[in-house]
């Protein structure tokens, strides 16, 4: 009985962390970081890569008794993307990796709708992504914390449904951002 309750609690915690917007911190509707150091500490994998293509959807909601199984009632749709990884800045991953982003939720009985603040990644664009492997499928990476994605061009820009992200992460020149990120990653180890 105690083991079953523990498994349910651990499963619920994993689901909450994997689906970010279900939690709140500091009044924000997201688990959020306010510095590159916090982003680096919260992420198992940080990569620089180009979004190659959308790659289907998956149900991120898990059965708390068996995380390898989908929840029979709750649906959390994850949009998958294939990333052509240019550089792994922290952790390890394959040269082509799958990243999934929660985009909508609902129930098996009532159906699913995209979240109002759903922000897709842009195919063909380069990003720095802050990620964690899915606990039940470690080869697939999910956004770790908000903001988890930074579009990289001459300027690096945080892309996040969290409205306060630009105040903590204003646009920054590419080389300066990557240098600051390298320092943050080194201090997170």
The closest alpha carbon to 143, from 96, 97, 74, belongs to: 97
Beta strands at 111-114 and 62-63: parallel, antiparallel or unpaired: unpaired
CATH number at residue 38: 2.40.50.120
Q: What is the pLDDT of residues 56-108, one digit of tens each?
A: 999 899 999 999 999 999 989 899 999 999 999 999 998 889 998 988 888 87
| Number of domains observed in the structure of the chain | 1
Q: What is the pTM of this model?
A: 0.81
Q: How far apart are CA 132 and CA 108, in angstroms?
A: 26
Q: Based on the number of CB atoms within 10 Å of its own CB, is 129 exposed (0-12), middle (13-18) or buried (19 or more)? A: buried
Residue 75: domain span: 2-188
């Amino acid at each position: 009985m105690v083991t079953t309750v523990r498994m349910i609690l651990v499963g619920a915690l994993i689901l909450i962390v994997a689906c970010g917007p279900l939690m709140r911190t500091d009044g924000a509707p997201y688990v959020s970081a306010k510095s590159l150091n916090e982003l680096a500490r919260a992420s198992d994998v940080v990569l620089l890569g180009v979004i190659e293509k959308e790659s289907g959807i998956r149900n991120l909601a898990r059965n708390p008794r068996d995380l390898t199984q989908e929840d029979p009632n709750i649906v959390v749709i994850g949009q998958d993307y294939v990333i052509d990884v240019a550089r792994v800045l922290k952790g390890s991953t394959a040269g082509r990796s799958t990243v999934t982003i929660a985009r909508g939720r609902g129930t098996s009985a009532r159906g699913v709708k995209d979240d109002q603040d759903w922000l897709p990644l842009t195919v063909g664009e380069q990003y720095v992504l802050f990620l964690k492997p899915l606990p039940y499928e470690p080869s697939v990476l999910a956004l770790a914390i908000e903001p988890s994605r930074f579009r990289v061009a001459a300027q690096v820009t945080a892309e996040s449904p969290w409205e306060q992200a630009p105040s903590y992460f204003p646009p920054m020149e590419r080389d300066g951002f990557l240098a600051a990120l390298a320092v943050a990653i080194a201090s997170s180890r």
